[in-house]
Amino acid sequence: MSTRLRPLRMRHVVWGGVLGGAASGVVVSLLVADDPLGGDALMLSYFSFWFLVAGTLVGVVAALASWGAGCLVTIGRPESRGRAVATVTVASVLGGASIACLLRAFEFWSYHPGEAVAGVVVGVVGGASGAFWAVWMSQGKPATTPQTSTTGDGAAPAA
């Protein structure tokens, strides 16, 4: 079993940012809504949609920035574990910081500090999970059975 990681692929990083950012955006919209279960469903879905869009955009930017930071930390070693650790760490920090800035901009932090802290935790988890997903998907599937034939019909290879 190889201990080296395969290089992170850009498409996996982008999709990890999309998924992590969109999920954290929806969860944060539910956290900051006044009464998510008893409120107006149309208004809540509108509110969640815009947080989903903002979370997706921020997630992609955070994932690409974390991928770039991982590349800078491990120049010349695209398969290193240090690149994966740096990518996940920077993505989680950027995920938490982006939601903190968003909640601060809307002056939500001063009125509801508990929900704001929960939102930052969701951003950290969303960023880290998106980066973990990118690392996991970039590794591909390991070979489970040895290949014995190259002809495709089950016959032994020609000598």
107: left (phi over 0), alpha (psi -120 to 50) or beta: left
Share of the chain above pLDDT 70, in %: 80
- Looking at residue 38, its pLDDT comes to 65
pLDDT > 60? residue 156: no
pLDDT of residue 2: 46
Q: Tokens at residue 14, please?
A: 């982008």
Mean pLDDT estimate for the chain = 75
DSSP codes, 52-97: HHHHHHHHHHHHHHHHHHHHHHTTT-TT-HHHHHHHHHHHHHHHHH
pLDDT at 159: 56
Map residue 158 onto helix, strand or coil. Answer: coil
Of the given ranges (67-76, 95-104, 149-158), which has the lowest mean pLDDT?
A: 149-158
What's the pLDDT band for 17 if we cut at 50, 70, 90? confident
Kindly tell me the burial class for residue 87, based on how many C-beta atoms sit within 10 Å of its own C-beta (0-12, 13-18, 19 or more).
Answer: buried
pTM above 0.85, yes or no: no
In this predicted model, what pLDDT tens digit does every residue of 55-72 receive, in sequence order?
Answer: 888 888 888 888 788 778
Q: Is 97 left (phi over 0), alpha (psi -120 to 50) or beta?
A: alpha
